[in-house]
Structure 1
Amino acid sequence: MSREDLPYRPCAGFMLVNAAGHVFVGQRIDPTAHGYWQMPQGGIDPGEDLRAAALRELHEEIGVGPDKVELIAGPSRPLRYDLPDELVGKVWKGKYRGQEQYWFLGRFLGENADIDLEAHDPPEFNAWRWVEPALLPELIIPFKRATYEEVLQEFRDFI
Structure 2
Amino acid sequence: MLDGDGFRLNVGMVLMNARGQVFWGQRPRNAGWQFPQGGVDDGESAEQAMFRELREETGLSPEHVRVLGRTQDWVRYHLPRRFRRKPPGCVGQKQKWFLLEVIADDDAIHFDTGTKAEFASFEWVSWWYPVGQVVPFKRDVYRRVLSEMLPIRDAALGHVID
8 Å Cα contact 1:6/1:95 also seen in 2: no
Give the number of aligned pairs: 150
Once residues 85 and 16 of structure 1 are traced to their aligned partners in structure 2, the CA distance between those partners, rounded to angstroms, is 29
Match of 2:111 in 1: 117
Between the aligned residues of both structures, percent identity stands at 35
For the pair 1:11 / 2:13, whether they are aligned, the reply is no
Once residues 41 and 103 of structure 1 are traced to their aligned partners in structure 2, the CA distance between those partners, rounded to angstroms, is 9
For the pair 1:59 / 2:50, whether they are aligned, the reply is no
Once residues 128 and 79 of structure 1 are traced to their aligned partners in structure 2, the CA distance between those partners, rounded to angstroms, is 24
Match of 2:160 in 1: none
Q: Where does the alignment leave 5 or more consecutive residues of structure 1 unmatched?
A: none
Q: How far is 1:71 from its partner?
A: 0.6
Match of 2:125 in 1: 131
Q: Give matches, 1:3-152, under 5 Å.
A: 7-29=6-28, 34-88=30-84, 90=85, 92-152=86-146
Deviations 1:51-100 (A, max 9, x none): 11111111110100000111100220000000112223x2x243310000
Q: How far is 1:49 from its partner?
A: 1.1
- Tell me the SS of whatever aligns to 1:101: strand
Q: How far is 1:139 from its partner?
A: 2.1
Once residues 12 and 87 of structure 1 are traced to their aligned partners in structure 2, the CA distance between those partners, rounded to angstroms, is 18
- Tell me the SS of whatever aligns to 1:52: helix
Deviations 1:2-26 (A, max 9, x none): xxx9610000111110000000121
Once residues 19 and 131 of structure 1 are traced to their aligned partners in structure 2, the CA distance between those partners, rounded to angstroms, is 12
Q: How far is 1:106 from its partner?
A: 1.1
4+ residue runs over 3 A deviation: none
> Which TM-score applies when normalising by structure 2?
0.87
RMSD across aligned positions (CA): 1.5
Once residues 106 and 80 of structure 2 are traced to their aligned partners in structure 1, the CA distance between those partners, rounded to angstroms, is 35
Q: Which amino acid aligns with 2:99?
A: L
Q: Where does the alignment leave 5 or more consecutive residues of structure 2 unmatched?
A: 154-162
**Distance change (3 Å), C-alpha of 1:138 and 1:35:** farther
